[in-house]
């Protein structure tokens, strides 16, 4: 089968130490991740279009631009809307572009993408992500370079949907080391940063998700060497941790 014709494009399988991940050409993201044969991502099939930005790389902005508009260096710019129901531009420009493989080994693949300048974002970016698996699990190392002659506005994110195999979401215990969160309007656009202390959205101490519905950006992260979000089962026998270095503070 010619995998380049799949909705997610070519597929790269990396494996080591009972870890297995599938990385894809379209968007340069991750489609599945397993440890000891169990799925820790709510991913998608090879013949599907990535649903809800699952596993994708978000650049050069990871959230939403209201009306697709922003101002940078005293210039007013407009990018195409791709969340038409809310009249927003969401999650950047790179997630449907083809990413190309570089160095590849059984446990590692490096993908790169050049996002060309365009009327609403007149800067050329070189993006790369090295995906690897090993004794510490799955690691993603991201690099972004502005190839233009002038400074550019830039933000970055990734979009994995984590899960604990065999554990219902209501029973998952969540820890988020963040002192505040972003309030948003009915279009999902940030309006203010507010403390989480003594509110239902304070997860600085581990507690069950229960019936909470979270589509929330947390900020003021804790940890000089980086911050981690943790999911565990009620008995703390199974868990998954996502760690990000200080560049993501």
Query: In the predicted model, is pLDDT for residue 215 greater than 70?
Result: yes
C-alpha separations of 178 from 1, 31, 219, 229, 239 in Å? 46, 28, 6, 9, 19
- The predicted structure's pLDDT at residue 226: 82
> What does the pLDDT read at residue 32?
98
CATH number at residue 50: 2.70.98.10
In the chain, pLDDT over 70 holds for what percent of residues? 100
| Model confidence band, residue 89 (pLDDT cutoffs 50, 70, 90) | very high
Alpha carbons 68 and 25: distance in angstroms, whole number: 26
Looking at residue 93, what is its pLDDT? 96
User: DSSP letter at 64?
Assistant: E
Residues 130 and 17 in one domain: yes
Rg from Cα positions in the chain: 19
Same domain, 141 and 221: no
Where is average pLDDT lowest: 12-26, 91-105, 186-200, 221-235? 221-235
182 and 205 inside one domain: yes
Written as six digits, the tokens of 126 are: 């070189």
Confidence check: pLDDT of 247 > 90: no
Q: Are both 144 and 216 inside the same structural domain?
A: no
3-class DSSP state for residue 148? coil
Domain hosting 59: range is 1-161
Q: Model-level pTM greater than 0.85?
A: yes
Q: Are residues 244 and 212 in the same domain?
A: yes
Residue 1 confidence class, pLDDT cut points 50, 70, 90: low
Please count the other Cβ atoms lying within 10 Å of the Cβ belonging to residue 144.
18
Tell me: pLDDT of 132 over 70: yes
The domain tally of the chain equals 2
For residues 53 and 29, the answer to whether their CB atoms sit within 8 Å is no
- Which residue among 161, 177, 192 closes a domain? 161
Instruction: Please tell me the distance from the alpha carbon of residue 92 to that of residue 207, in angstroms, as a whole number.
Output: 33
* CA-closest candidate to residue 128, choices 109, 150, 151: 109
């Amino acid at each position: 089968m010619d995998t380049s014709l799949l909705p997610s494009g070519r597929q790269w399988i990396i494996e080591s130490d009972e870890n297995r991940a599938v990385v894809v050409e379209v968007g340069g993201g991750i489609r599945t991740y397993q440890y000891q044969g169990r799925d820790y991502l709510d991913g998608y099939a090879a013949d599907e279009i990535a649903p809800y930005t699952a596993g994708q790389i978000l650049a050069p902005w990871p959230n939403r631009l209201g009306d697709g508009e922003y101002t940078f260096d005293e210039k007013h710019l407009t990018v195409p809307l791709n969340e038409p129901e809310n009249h927003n531009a969401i999650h950047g420009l790179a997630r449907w572009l083809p990413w190309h493989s570089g160095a590849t080994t059984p446990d590692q693949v490096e993908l790169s993408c050049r996002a060309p300048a365009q009327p609403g974002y007149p800067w050329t970016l070189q993006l790369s992500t090295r995906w690897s698996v090993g004794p510490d699990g799955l690691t993603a190392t991201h690099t972004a370079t502005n190839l233009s002659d002038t400074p550019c506005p830039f933000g970055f994110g990734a979009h994995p949907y984590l899960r604990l195999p065999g554990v219902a979401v209501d029973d998952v215990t969540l820890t988020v080391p963040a002192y505040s969160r972003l309030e948003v309007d009915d279009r999902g656009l940030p309006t203010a940063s507010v403390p989480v202390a003594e509110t239902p959205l304070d997860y600085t101490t581990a507690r069950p998700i229960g019936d909470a519905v979270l589509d929330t950006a947390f900020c003021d992260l804790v940890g000089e060497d980086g911050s981690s979000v943790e999911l565990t089962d009620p008995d703390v026998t199974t868990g998954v941790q996502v760690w990000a270095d200080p560049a993501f503070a």
